[in-house]
Amino acid sequence: MLAAAVRRVAWTAATKTTTTVTRRPQQAFFHASAAVAHGSGKDLKDAPRITLNWVGKKGEEFTTDGIVGESILDAAHRHDVELEGACEGVCACSTCHVILEDPMFDELEDPSEEEEDMLDQAFGLTPTSRLGCQVELTQAQDGMKIKLPTATRNFYIDGHVPKPH
Ligand code: FES
């Protein structure tokens, strides 16, 4: 059941060094991370709500709700949480990088190969990093803590931060 730990090389821009990050193997106890399409068109108005506990880029803590069936990125955008999503949730950037806590991280389904590839581009990669657009909220994630990294790797030359739409 447990896959071998995936080793990653993370680039740390501040120190211009590379470090090896070992991502811990995950156990899939429930379905949680199918690719979540941007604007999935799901009717979630009657879906259950859960509580999400955020830690912002400056360490500030706040709470929002999350709707079962939406992605972490969608929940962030509904509440103006500072999580970019430059590719609009199609797993083609790393600007929706979030850091999860145990035990929630271990209970998520393993990331897809595409998500792993994009995570390789993420600033401040950790062993419990995920892409917010690829984690679909479930009831079991009620109370989950989601930390925003202090920076993201956005390839806009002028530093433009795209607005969700
Ligand atoms: Fe681009 Fe998640 S928004 S990978």
Mutate to test the pocket of ligand 1, among 38, 93, 125 (most ligand atoms within 8 A of CB): 93
**Residue 165 placed within a domain:** no
pLDDT, tens digit (0-9, with 9 covering 90-100), for 39-84: 556 788 899 999 999 999 999 999 999 999 999 999 999 999 999 9
16 and 57 share a domain?
no
78 and 16 share a domain?
no
Q: What's the gap in Å between 140 CA and the centre of ligand 1? A: 23
95 lines ligand 1 (CB under 6 A): yes
**Residue 89 placed within a domain:** yes
pLDDT, tens digit (0-9, with 9 covering 90-100), for 24-48: 555 444 434 444 444 556 788 899 9
62 and 130 share a domain?
yes
> Would residue 3 be called left, alpha or beta, if left means φ above 0 and alpha means ψ between -120 and 50 degrees?
beta
55 and 109 share a domain?
yes
Q: What's the gap in Å between 29 CA and the centre of ligand 1? A: 24
Q: What is the pLDDT of residue 42?
A: 75
Q: Please, are residues 156 and 119 in contact by the beta-carbon 8 Å criterion?
A: no
Number of domains in the chain: 2
Q: What is the pLDDT of residue 45?
A: 85
**Residue 143 placed within a domain:** yes
pLDDT, tens digit (0-9, with 9 covering 90-100), for 80-100: 999 999 999 999 999 999 999
Give the range of the structural domain holding residue 64, as residue numbers without chain letter: 49-147
